[in-house]
Amino acid sequence: MEIMLAIIAGTLVAAGAYLMMSGRTLPYIFGLTMISNAANIIIFASGRLTFGVPPLVPDGAQTVTDAANALPQALILTAIVIGFGLLVFALALAYRSYYVLGTAQMDHMNSSEPGKEVGP
């Protein structure tokens, strides 16, 4: 199971990195989303992987022994929520910068570079 998750995480990072190197804003954001999901899978795997063991304390016992740690799952939830917020902002920024700058090619975005100063 862990090996499978490791392969998935690795594939996501590879595909994400490939997309991010395309030099356009939208594929960059998709690639980033893939990589951040790979990071979430890493956290998920860090909390032990178990099949069909609910994290319930059995009658008479003090602690759960076999179940997966629930804390990483809470961490992933937080990371997903934050990641989703950042994704929405990044998409809005990509749209808006295409509108304002007239290009989605990162190599052509140079309005903040020396010699391009407009106005004062």
Q: Distance between CA 61 and CA 28 in Å, rounded?
A: 50
The residues near 38 (Cβ < 8 Å, ≥ 6 apart) are: 8, 9, 10, 12, 13, 16
Task: Give start and end residues of each alpha helix (H) in the chain.
Answer: 2-20, 25-46, 71-101
**Smallest distance from another protein to CB 100, Å:** 5
**Smallest distance from another protein to CB 106, Å:** 7
Q: How many CA atoms lie within 13 A of 10 on its CB side?
A: 6
Contacting another protein within 52-111 (CB under 8 A): 69, 71-72, 75, 78-79, 82, 85-86, 89-90, 93-94, 96-97, 100-101, 106, 109-111
How many residues bind another protein (CB under 8 A)? The answer is: 41
- Site residues (CB under 8 A) for another protein? 25, 28, 32, 35-36, 38-40, 42-43, 45-47, 69, 71-72, 75, 78-79, 82, 85-86, 89-90, 93-94, 96-97, 100-101, 106, 109-114, 116-118, 120
